[in-house]
Structure 1
Amino acid sequence: MAPLSSNEPGVSERLRAILPALPEVQRGIAELVLEDPAAASRLTIVELADACAVSTGSITRLCRALGLSGYSELRLGLASDSGRSYQDSLAATIGTDVSAEDDLAQIATVVSANVGHAVTESVTKLNLTDIDTAAGRLTSARRVQIFGTGGSGVMANDFQQRAYRIGVPCWTWSDTHLALSAAALLGNRDVLLAISHSGRTRDVYDVLTEAEDKGAFTIAVTDDAQSPIGSQARLVLTSSVGDLGYHTEAIAARHAQLVVLDVLYVAVAQRTQQQTRAAITATAAAVSGYKRPGRLR
């Protein structure tokens, strides 16, 4: 079945249009399907026949009445309709910001929609070849320095803690002077991972440039590949947030950065499975005494 444009009627809409003219058995099937098209799209033809107490042949005849080649096309059409309905409702929310008049339900809806959109867009647009290259550099590096400020600094700390735990020799700094000093000691066997949502944070740009000048391989995680930081780095992993409004953009940015870094972390762990398993076992054992159930003593 060819994909429908937003102006063409979906299978559900066509089914409603022919409903009054359908024979009784087929009308009963159509009514059940229209009660929950998304749920119906997940049923096999046998399961739908059992739910309607009809034969599979009756369902096949309904498909033909719709001009479809068979049940598979009906299921795809119903799933497509459900997805399109979800996207339409999501589009009404994405890109909006919260105001002082919004209640908590509206705030939760806006935040959820914007965060979900940012994560989905970031994963969809992520260049997996670049992720693979970045993972290779991190696993073979002598030293890895990770740097970001503000919210990006939180992401830098999170990634450093996880990567260090599986054996990647990496450090992060909260002080720009310390970060610059560390970058000055990097060489061509080292990696600098810079994180900046805007790609225009002066501190991060200066640290990345210092590492680049010393021959380190530089990687940037940013929402703007054409920004100064994106243009300066040898490899750019792009998150995708866009303009979501003053209140929610920073929230979505953290989640977008996190999903990019999560994919990178798993790619590194996959490349070093034996080392990762041994490291996680050892580090878990080291802190196990601090996770005993019961009251603190």
Structure 2
Amino acid sequence: MPRQRDGSTVERIRELLPGMPAAQRTLAELILVDPAGVARTTILDLSERCGVSTGSITRLCRALGLSGYAALRIALASDPHAPRRGTWDGEVGIDAEDGIDHVAEVVARNIGRTVAEAIAHLDLTDVERAAKLTGSAGRVLVSGVGGSATVASELQQRLYRIGVPAWDWSDPHVALTGIALSQPGDVLILFSHSGRTEEAVAMATEARKRPATTIAVTNDPSSPLAELADIALVTGVSQLGFQHEAVLARHAQLAVVDLIYITVARTALDRTTRSMEVTADAVRTRRSNAR
């Protein structure tokens, strides 16, 4: 059994990170981003979260000179050098002295991990079913509140361009009015990362009284929004504090937008091709010819 070295566990992980095998590197990067969160996580939950075996976790512990995962949790919980939530470096993984190259590396790594994690958690059968209903809908009503509103708008614009009659409502009152007037064959797509946004839950509740099919894009399968929806597309990305709520949640939602849009587009390829040609032609004259 390797003897534990003196010094911070987090500092030791940073030191060993470049030479780690891929599975251990995934674990190590998560620990560096959220050591306190890992300290509160069971070995089975961490294994599922990172997509690695419990054996890989144990091997990382031994490489750090620790007797096992229990020892790692204790070390992280008591590590004075571990970043803490509520601080800039703890939440973002970047401190004031870091150069732009490190900033770019952290951003790319975190976005890539979030998108991969979101795709891995999604039930692709449900995604395909949601896309089929969306592509054949009489009307698609899309809505989100706050940061989710920008993602909802992105989906509406993409669908509209390929000939799907889609409306985006960020005003909850207007959205509720549209839902109340929905008809059989209409589809309502609601975005809420937490699944607990009051306005989104109110829309889903109203939709339960109406003939439209409700699709929820959320991170929490046990949330009120997921339970009210006919189809819940659950991203299930791990908590990453400031980045998670302010930035990374949007990337998880956009991964779902891409999947729905591309699936709708390819299943009605003739309509997609015609629509993209005529819309491109319509805006071509508005583009500047200046060089």
- Answer yes or no: same fold by TM over 0.5: yes
- State the distance in 2 between where 1:85 and 1:99 align: 19
Whether 1:235 and 2:174 are equivalent positions in the alignment is: no
Q: In structure 2, the residue corresponding to 1:258 is in which secondary structure?
A: helix
1:103 aligns with: 97
- Contact 1:190–1:216 (CA under 8 A) maintained in structure 2: yes
- Contact 1:131–1:237 (CA under 8 A) maintained in structure 2: yes
Whether 1:226 and 2:193 are equivalent positions in the alignment is: no
Alpha-carbon distance, 1:270 to partner: 0.9
Structure 2: gaps (5+ residues): 3-19, 35-89
Query: CA offsets, 1:147-193, max 9 Å, x none?
Result: 10111000000100000100111101121111110110002211100
2:126 aligns with: 130
Within 5 A, what are the aligned runs for 1:52-201? 82-84=21-23, 86-95=25-34, 97-98=91-92, 101-105=95-99, 107-201=103-197
Whether 1:272 and 2:211 are equivalent positions in the alignment is: no
Structure number with bigger Rg? 1
| Amino acid corresponding to residue 114 of structure 1 in structure 2 | N
2:247 aligns with: 251
Alpha-carbon distance, 1:248 to partner: 4.2
1:215 aligns with: 211
- State the distance in 2 between where 1:114 and 1:226 align: 25
- State the distance in 2 between where 1:104 and 1:210 align: 49
Whether 1:286 and 2:288 are equivalent positions in the alignment is: no
Q: In structure 2, the residue corresponding to 1:197 is in which secondary structure?
A: coil
| Amino acid corresponding to residue 207 of structure 2 in structure 1 | A
- Contact 1:189–1:216 (CA under 8 A) maintained in structure 2: yes
Structure 1: gaps (5+ residues): 1-6, 8-80
- Contact 1:93–1:113 (CA under 8 A) maintained in structure 2: no
| Amino acid corresponding to residue 92 of structure 2 in structure 1 | V
Query: CA offsets, 1:248-281, max 9 Å, x none?
Result: 4321000000011101110000111000000000
Shift of the 140–99 alpha-carbon distance from structure 1 to 2, 3 Å rule, reads: closer
- State the distance in 1 between where 2:98 and 2:260 align: 34
Shift of the 293–93 alpha-carbon distance from structure 1 to 2, 3 Å rule, reads: farther
TM-score of the pair, normalised by structure 1: 0.68
TM-score of the pair, normalised by structure 2: 0.69
| Amino acid corresponding to residue 184 of structure 2 in structure 1 | N
- State the distance in 1 between where 2:230 and 2:287 align: 42
Identity %: 40
Q: In structure 1, the residue corresponding to 2:285 is in which secondary structure?
A: helix
CA RMSD of aligned residues (A): 2.4
- State the distance in 1 between where 2:269 and 2:33 align: 39
